[in-house]
Amino acid sequence: MSLIIKNGNIVTATDNYIADIFIEAETIVAIGKNLAMKADKVIDATGKLIFPGGIDPHVHLSMPFMGTYSSDTYETGTRAALYGGTTMLIDFILQKQGNSLHDALAEWQSRSNDNCVGDYSFHMAVTDFNENTRKEIKDFIEREGITSFKTFMAYKGALMIDDRQMVGLMEEVKKHGGLINVHATNGDMIDYLVQKNKEEGNLAPLYHYLSQPEVTEAEASERFVDMINYTGCPGYIVHLTCEGALNAVRNATKRNQKVFVETCIQYLLLDASLYEKNFEGAKWVMSPPLREKKDQATLWAGINQGLVNVVATDHCPFMWEQKLMGKDDFSKIPNGHPAVENRMELLYSEGVAKNKITLNKYVEVACTNPAKIFGMFPRKGTIAIGSDADIVIFDPNEKHTISVNTHHMNVDYSGYEGWELTGKVKTVILRGTIAIDNNECLIDKGFGKFIKRNKVAQTI
């Protein structure tokens, strides 16, 4: 099967030009003006933008968490991502404390194998680092193609590891060419503030926000940055939300340290005033919480300064009925919000169309940097000869409105209901096959492949 996309405006992290793209089977084999090859199918992309398939390196599908499971399955979550122009996801395996990493991998494979519509990979979350776990790291990197290890400095009593385990894990991961990603908030401080608020009868969603002040994230980010500087292990801070935490990274650059930073679309666009809506605020209960307008400004600037490298989602949806588990106690509201389908269109509309970031920067943070940092470039994350033909054809002028009534995520509300956007995903190609066209999904579960990743980048 061959495919030619004609006259599209190709945008990569560095280039912006009009050309044709010729695809054979799963791969881009030629790019040029007026290509003469005959293809089985021709797509006229005149007037459209052509992006590499989006990569969201931070999602939680069918994840057991806070007494329930996130509501998107591997099928619904990867399909919704494709509708929104994201062709590849990286999900998180969670080790159960006391069990092995390989046990957790087998459990996650039992839910994901043959169920994904789009491509995917895993980070391995280490919640119990000990002499047995240490021996498993090499195998994950060299045999399983899982080269990034998640750590939690919060969720005390469930997922959190202490600094002793953190440093030991960093040394082992560094030795084998992997990377540590971190949820960097101070778990002990948060635990104290949650208990204090509950004892004082402060039980509304607003107190979720007030129990995780900026300092809890700034302190943990600085500690993490110091630990990776000491060990020399590549490090990536997930879902960074605020000025204090970004300042810790900025300070590290003064000693020429590279720290990879991800923010999520919600921290660029939404703020903590949403927690004042009584229990409706539960829709945006996530950790870390939404912050202030000044933090949004810091994050947009951080993208342009090259300090923030990736815009992801931390997609972790829960049905409204699940959110009601915390009706009388904010600490029981499952943490997370849905966004995987909206990320690319929101970032275009609010970022590119409103002149906050350039088109090249858009591709860099949504597609290219995730591929580079997590060991998939140039197979994924760009439009180049030899790359997988993961391609988004995008109408930069079409206007549309986000709604629960039209989204494809398995969740019964939208965090962005009624938002009017400029720019829409029209066609999505995954490894040379048309996956989405005119709001219809043309591939089935099982099409999505597990992508084995290479050892990671030290810098980008």
If we measure between CA atoms, which residue out of 408, 425, 407, 409 comes closest to residue 366? 425
**Dihedral of CA 148/262/275/279: which sign?**
negative
For Zn ion, which is the closer residue by CB, 183 or 343?
Answer: 183
Residue nearest to ligand DUC (CB): 286
Residues that bind Zn ion (CB under 5 A): 183, 314
Output the smallest distance, CB 420 to ligand DUC, in A. 26
- The item of Zn ion, ligand DUC, none sharing an interface with residue 387, based on CB under 5 to 8 Å by kind, is none
**SS3 assignment, position 397:** strand
Q: At what angle do helices 243-253 and 214-231 cross, to 10 degrees?
A: 20
Work out which of 12, 112, 115, 335 binds ligand DUC, going by CB under 6 A: 335
Output the smallest distance, CB 107 to Zn ion, in A. 18
For Zn ion, which is the closer residue by CB, 79 or 183?
Answer: 183
Output the smallest distance, CB 185 to Zn ion, in A. 8
Question: End-to-end distance of the chain based on CA atoms, in angstroms?
Answer: 34
Rounded to whole angstroms, how far apart are CA atoms 436 and 429?
A: 7
Continuous segment of H or E residues that includes residue 322: helix 320-323
Work out whether 316 is an interface residue with ligand DUC (CB under 6 A): yes
For Zn ion, which is the closer residue by CB, 119 or 314?
Answer: 314
For ligand DUC, which is the closer residue by CB, 183 or 372?
Answer: 183
Work out whether 241 is an interface residue with ligand DUC (CB under 6 A): no
- The item of Zn ion, ligand DUC, none sharing an interface with residue 335, based on CB under 5 to 8 Å by kind, is ligand DUC
Phi, psi of 177 (to 5 degrees): 90, 25
- The item of Zn ion, ligand DUC, none sharing an interface with residue 91, based on CB under 5 to 8 Å by kind, is none
Phi, psi of 284 (to 5 degrees): -110, 20
For ligand DUC, which is the closer residue by CB, 286 or 307?
Answer: 286
- The item of ligand DUC, Zn ion, none sharing an interface with residue 123, based on CB under 5 to 8 Å by kind, is none
Residue nearest to Zn ion (CB): 183
Interface characters, 126-165, with ligand DUC (x: CB under 6 A): ----------------------------------------
Do 263 and 236 touch, CB atoms closer than 8 A? Answer: no
Phi, psi of 222 (to 5 degrees): -65, -40
Work out whether 211 is an interface residue with ligand DUC (CB under 6 A): no
**The tokens of 455 are what?**
């050892």
Cβ atoms within 10 A of the Cβ of 459, count?
A: 8
For Zn ion, which is the closer residue by CB, 123 or 372?
Answer: 123
- Name residue, tokens 């009534």: 405
For ligand DUC, which is the closer residue by CB, 124 or 392?
Answer: 124
Work out whether 60 is an interface residue with ligand DUC (CB under 6 A): yes
Binding residues for ligand DUC, total number by CB under 6 A: 8
**Dihedral of CA 142/236/226/458: which sign?**
positive
**The tokens of 360 are what?**
């090249």
- The item of ligand DUC, Zn ion, none sharing an interface with residue 286, based on CB under 5 to 8 Å by kind, is ligand DUC
Work out whether 287 is an interface residue with ligand DUC (CB under 6 A): yes
Continuous segment of H or E residues that includes residue 211: none
- The item of ligand DUC, Zn ion, none sharing an interface with residue 336, based on CB under 5 to 8 Å by kind, is ligand DUC
**SS3 assignment, position 3:** strand
Rounded to whole angstroms, how far apart are CA atoms 160 and 126?
A: 9
Rounded to whole angstroms, how far apart are CA atoms 203 and 48?
A: 49
Binding site for ligand DUC (CB under 6 A): 60, 183, 286-287, 314, 316, 335-336
